[in-house]
Amino acid sequence: MFTTRTGGFPIGFRRGWSDWQKDLDALVAWAKENGFAVIDLGSDADEVGKAVQAAGLGIGSADLRDWSGFLNPDPGVRRAAVEKNAEYIAAASKVGALNYFCVMLPADPKRPRAENYGYMIESFSELVPHLEAHGAHVVIEGWPGEGALCCTPEGYRAILKDIPSPAIGINYDPSHLIRMGIDPIRFVGEFADRVFHVHGKDTEIFSENIYEYGTEQPPTFGKTHGFGWTTWRYTIPGHGEMRWTKAFQILKDAGYAGAVSIELEDENFNVGEEGEKAGLLAGAAYLATV
């Protein structure tokens, strides 16, 4: 079974969208045959989690349902989102899903950030008792989509202060931090005790392109990268800037007991079934050495 050299964390991957990954039985069989320990699922963990569990694999995380509903200006929509997800958590927890992945994306990103932040705090405060009842966590990923909250230390620090329950946690994905220019090692040092899941994804920075184009404007003639932009691109672990050994040591010292799941978004490997399998295996093999 793949595990990291530092910390001995089990290694898995996030289920993708390509055709070969839609056949869950085949995907689970391939994962097990190739030494993966966990699979991250979508918002259907209550339906498919039993098959993963039966194969002896763990569920690294499962997506929450209807993320934007939590940050909707309509109180009725927010209430419905809490109720829907509370039912989902109760069902999915029975098959081993205890980390619930989400990105804090508002329904209306044009509204003032402080207003959307208030909706988030209200909704997730109401969800916390349902998470606590099952020993589960929300794991917030800092993908910097339009209007997204909890992408930066400021955002994470605020929600962890305003909702102090340990049911509110972090999906540590250093690729987004690197892309934004935030030190991923300093970040994990500050927030390690609230990290409950890790994405094995890296980012390559093109310093020459930063000089050529800057970071604020798209190029007129320069090319952009798949799963990236002109000045950066997401990669498998080991092909970017991340200091994985240092991060894993910090997590180990903090008592981290979760997994590391490769989220495959790399233009060099997202090229059909053969390429994706090669990317997952290469990423896992690298993480096993650090």
pLDDT in tens, the chain (290 residues): 999 999 999 999 999 999 999 999 999 999 999 999 999 999 999 999 999 999 999 999 999 998 889 999 999 999 999 999 999 999 999 999 999 999 999 999 999 999 999 999 999 999 999 999 999 999 999 999 999 999 999 999 999 999 999 999 999 999 999 999 999 999 999 999 999 999 999 999 999 999 999 999 999 999 999 999 999 999 999 999 999 999 999 999 999 999 999 999 999 999 999 999 999 999 999 999 99
What is the pLDDT, as a whole number, of residue 87?
Answer: 98
What is the pLDDT, as a whole number, of residue 67?
Answer: 87
Strands 38-41 and 195-200: unpaired
* DSSP characters over 146-172: TT-BSSSHHHHHHHHHHS--TTEEEEE
Interatomic CA distance for residues 170 and 223, integer angstroms: 33
Query: How many other CB atoms are found less than 10 A from the CB of residue 162?
Result: 14
What is the pLDDT, as a whole number, of residue 75?
Answer: 98
Interatomic CA distance for residues 144 and 115, integer angstroms: 18
* DSSP characters over 69-93: HHT-S-HHHHHHHHHHHHHHHHHHG
Among the residues of 34-71, which ranges form H helices? 45-54, 67-70
The values of phi and psi at residue 194, to 5°, are -115, 10
Interatomic CA distance for residues 77 and 108, integer angstroms: 13
What are 234's strand-pairing partners? 203
Interatomic CA distance for residues 25 and 31, integer angstroms: 10
The values of phi and psi at residue 64, to 5°, are -65, 165
Interatomic CA distance for residues 129 and 188, integer angstroms: 26
What is the pLDDT, as a whole number, of residue 179?
Answer: 97
DSSP state of 194: G
Mind listing the domains of the chain with CATH numbers?
A: 11-203+239-287 (3.20.20.150)
What are 237's strand-pairing partners? none
DSSP state of 95: G
Radius of gyration of the CA atoms of the chain, in A: 19
Contact 199, 263 (CB under 8 A): yes
Contact 260, 198 (CB under 8 A): yes
Rounded to 5, what percent of the chain is helix, strand, coil?
45, 15, 40
Which one, of 225, 252, 256, 251, lies nearest residue 239 by Cα?
225
